[in-house]
């Protein structure tokens, strides 16, 4: 079976207009004459054809489950609007626990909602709702009661129970404190987890995403991926970031080796380990070199949290590197970034360089002295471009509480590229939209769609070509897939995305939609009425 995409703009080939696909691979790139004799011809009618986009950091298995729970991600960031959605969901759900995610911290005073708001609408069942960045939960009194959380409950080392002036829990749990309630939520069935992966996959394919790194794969999610892949239902190419329990130790390495070695060869690879190094700036748990400020601009004694002792981290990463694993770090603050790079350096010093492509995700603040270390260590800069813009979460909850020098160095994509860092883009979905076109537009403009021109640290803007590369060749490199994906080349996998307009400006990217997605020569998504 051969398919020809013709009469279009072929990414990376300014003199070509046609791509011929035979079976699962690209057979030729060239003029319109290549289309003659093809079994099927798709007229691009001037539209661009891109390599399939690759998301270097996302949680589609989690996001898919949230789509069928109390889903708040597409609700306006407003307390009343959230409560209306929660009340409606609770009224039609007979589940013993009301769970969901997606509320924005900016909708609440200092980013902290309370149990009182939830008690008024759901007093009889526990409610547990993750915020948009998944670093905190909003719970009602019933959930606190079931978990036994009272004024006498101490904060865990890796988290915080938000309290009133008398020490009583008010209904917000940050970072590791969320697990105090989370451990009581009834577990999902294997089929529910598979359905979540399928829902997340369908959403991604409709956005032209043909491969992704799932950055939170616990044993149950791993088993669901393996089962789905065995059934032939996994379309995208997936690297599973096996979840490192930060309260555990080196015994996890042997468990990961066993799990990886028992994974059949297919669309899912259990070759990475996800390690959380710190939290997020909005709740003051991102690990920073300089202290956070209080509400009056004065330094505090808080520099965030190192979830893993830096010395232990070096040891663990050295062990993982020796076993052939790729380490995928969550590192927002500049101290966390340094800790991650130090651990990679220690592993290379002990084991030699093996091109593992360990990568650090998020990189909200990077100290200038650490930027050249990415290239020197062969480490990937795994960035989430949608976060680099003015919005209340940045302007109200973050900038006033960061050291001014750190606040002026946020999301430094231009500086990292100039320092030679390998840059790949991801979304962190469901924390933010997985749409690569929105990410591309933001990286180019450092603004939001439809916002007045007010770019966020505009000196860190990158070009359209660099932004597209970060979602294609850059992410392919991070996933060790650059020899057969990420570009439109003869012999490469026929993983392709048709976009409805050329991408010349940020506004083009914000307005664009994916018309068609192909994975290994098969059309897996087509927008209604998009074919010309």
| Alpha-carbon 102 to chain mean position | 14
Q: Which range marks the domain in which residue 450 is found?
A: 190-478
Residues 270 and 387 both lie in one domain? yes
In angstroms, the Cα distances linking 341 to 50, 194, 521 are 33, 35, 39
459: its two tokens: 């000196």
* Helix residue ranges per DSSP H, 352-486: 371-377, 392-395, 404-407, 413-418, 436-445, 464-469, 475-478
218: its two tokens: 């616990």
Which residues, other chains included, contact 514 with Cβ-Cβ below 8 Å and sequence gap of 6+? 206, 207, 208, 437, 497, 498, 499, 500, 525, 527
Burial class (CB in 10 A: 0-12, 13-18, 19+), 517: buried
Q: How many residues does the chain have?
A: 532
Per-residue pLDDT at 479? 98
- Is residue 267 situated within a structural domain? yes
Per-residue pLDDT at 332? 98
Q: Which of 123, 155, 182 is the last residue of a domain?
A: 182
In angstroms, the Cα distances linking 378 to 239, 326, 356, 372 are 19, 12, 8, 10
Beta bridge partners of 130: 101, 137
Give the integer Cα–Cα distance in Å for 117 and 171: 9
pTM for this entry: 0.90
Q: Please, what are the averages of pLDDT over each run of 10 residues along the chain (532 residues)?
A: 97 98 98 95 98 98 89 86 94 92 87 93 94 89 95 92 94 93 92 96 98 97 98 98 96 98 97 97 95 95 97 98 98 98 98 98 98 98 97 92 97 98 96 96 95 91 98 98 98 98 97 98 91 51
Give the integer Cα–Cα distance in Å for 313 and 330: 13
Per-residue pLDDT at 71? 87
- Is residue 98 situated within a structural domain? yes
Per-residue pLDDT at 531? 53
Burial 98-128 (b: 16+ CB within 10 A, else e): bbbbbbbbbbbeebbbbbebbeebbeeebbb
- Is residue 99 situated within a structural domain? yes
Contact 471, 57 (CB under 8 A): no
Q: Which of 182, 216, 238 is the last residue of a domain?
A: 182
Beta bridge partners of 161: 173
Q: How many CA atoms are closer than 13 Å to the CA of 238, on its beta-carbon side?
A: 33
Per-residue pLDDT at 325? 98
Which residues, other chains included, contact 264 with Cβ-Cβ below 8 Å and sequence gap of 6+? 226, 229, 230
- Domain of 428, CATH number, reads 3.20.20.140
Contact 22, 34 (CB under 8 A): no
- Domain of 35, CATH number, reads 2.30.40.10
Give the integer Cα–Cα distance in Å for 50 and 472: 9
Residues 7 and 22 both lie in one domain? yes
Per-residue pLDDT at 68? 82
Residues 281 and 417 both lie in one domain? yes
- Is residue 531 situated within a structural domain? no
- Is residue 354 situated within a structural domain? yes
Contact 272, 239 (CB under 8 A): yes
- Is residue 229 situated within a structural domain? yes
CB atoms within 10 A of CB 249: 11
In angstroms, the Cα distances linking 69 to 36, 87, 134, 144, 395 are 49, 13, 15, 20, 30
Residues 158 and 220 both lie in one domain? no
Among the listed residues 443, 445, 454, 447, the one whose alpha carbon sits nearest the alpha carbon of residue 413: 443
Residues 226 and 130 both lie in one domain? no
Residues 7 and 64 both lie in one domain? no
Residues 368 and 427 both lie in one domain? yes
Q: How many CA atoms are closer than 13 Å to the CA of 303, on its beta-carbon side?
A: 8
- Is residue 103 situated within a structural domain? yes
- Is residue 228 situated within a structural domain? yes
Residues 215 and 280 both lie in one domain? yes
- Domain of 123, CATH number, reads 3.10.310.70
Please report, in angstroms and rounded to a whole number, the separation of the first and last CA atoms in the chain: 21
How many domains does the chain contain in total? 3
Beta bridge partners of 2: 22
Contact 134, 128 (CB under 8 A): no
CB atoms within 10 A of CB 482: 17
For residue 430, say if its preceding peptide bond is cis, omega within 30 degrees of 0.
yes
Residues 461 and 315 both lie in one domain? yes
For 276, list phi and psi in degrees, rounded to 5: -85, 120
Per-residue pLDDT at 135? 83
Q: Which of 130, 153, 182 is the last residue of a domain?
A: 182
Residues 497 and 450 both lie in one domain? no
Report, in angstroms and rounded to the nearest whole number, the Rg of the chain calculated over CA atoms: 23
Residues 125 and 37 both lie in one domain? no
Q: What is the widest separation between alpha-carbon atoms in the chain? A: 78
Among the listed residues 197, 208, 224, the one whose alpha carbon sits nearest the alpha carbon of residue 62: 197
Residues 255 and 311 both lie in one domain? yes
């Amino acid at each position: 079976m051969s398919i020809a995409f013709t009469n279009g703009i072929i990414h990376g080939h300014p003199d070509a207009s046609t791509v011929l696909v035979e079976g699962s691979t690209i057979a030729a790139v060239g003029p319109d004459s290549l289309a003659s004799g093809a079994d099927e011809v798709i007229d691009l009618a001037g539209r661009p054809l891109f390599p399939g986009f690759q998301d270097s950091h996302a949680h589609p298995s989690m996001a898919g489950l949230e789509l069928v729970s109390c889903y708040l991600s597409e609700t306006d960031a407003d307390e009343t609007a959230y409560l209306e959605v929660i009340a409606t969901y609770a009224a039609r759900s007979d589940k013993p626990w009301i769970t969901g995610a997606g509320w924005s911290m900016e909708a609440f005073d200092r980013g902290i909602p309370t149990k009182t708001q939830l008690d008024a609408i759901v007093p009889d069942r526990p409610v547990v709702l993750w915020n948009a960045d998944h670093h905190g939960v909003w719970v009602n009194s019933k959930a606190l009661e079931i978990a036994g959380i009272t004024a006498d409950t101490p904060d865990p080392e890796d988290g915080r129970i938000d309290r009133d002036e008398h020490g009583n829990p008010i209904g917000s749990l940050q970072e590791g404190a969320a697990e105090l309630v989370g451990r009581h939520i009834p577990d999902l069935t294997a089929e529910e987890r598979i359905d979540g992966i399928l829902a997340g996959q369908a959403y991604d394919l409709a956005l032209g995403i043909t491969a992704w790194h799932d950055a939170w794969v616990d044993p149950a999610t791993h088993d669901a991926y393996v089962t789905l892949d065995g059934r032939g239902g996994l379309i995208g190419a997936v690297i599973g970031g096996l979840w490192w329990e930060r309260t555990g130790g080196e015994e996890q390495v042997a468990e990961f080796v066993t799990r990886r070695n028992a994974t059949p060869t297919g669309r899912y690879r259990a070759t990475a380990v996800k390690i959380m190094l710190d939290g997020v700036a909005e709740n003051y748990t991102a690990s920073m070199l300089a202290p956070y400020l209080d509400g009056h601009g004065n330094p505090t004694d808080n520099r965030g949290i190192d979830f893993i002792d830096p010395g232990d981290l070096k040891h663990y990463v050295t062990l993982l590197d020796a076993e052939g694993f790729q380490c995928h770090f969550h590192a927002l603050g500049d101290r966390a970034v340094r800790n991650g790079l130090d651990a990679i350096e220690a592993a290379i010093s002990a084991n030699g360089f093996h091109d593992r492509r360990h990568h650090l995700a998020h990189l909200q603040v990077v100290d200038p002295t650490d930027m050249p270390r990415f290239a020197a260590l062969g480490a990937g800069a795994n960035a989430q471009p949608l976060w680099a813009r003015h919005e209340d979460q940045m302007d109200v909850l973050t900038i006033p509480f960061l050291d001014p020098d750190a606040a002026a160095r946020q999301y430094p994509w231009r500086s990292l590229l100039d320092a030679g860092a390998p840059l790949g883009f991801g979304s962190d979905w469901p924390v933010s939209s997985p749409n690569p076109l929105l990410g591309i537009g933001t990286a180019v403009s450092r603004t939001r769609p439809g916002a007045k021109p007010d770019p966020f640290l505009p000196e860190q803007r990158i070009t359209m070509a660099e932004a597209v590369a970060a979602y294609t060749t850059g992410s392919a490199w991070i996933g060790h897939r650059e020899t057969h994906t990420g570009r439109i080349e003869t012999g490469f996998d026929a993983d392709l995305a048709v976009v409805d307009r050329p991408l010349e400006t940020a506004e083009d990217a914000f307005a664009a939609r994916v018309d068609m997605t192909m994975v290994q020569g098969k059309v897996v998504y087509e927008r209604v009425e998009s074919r010309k």
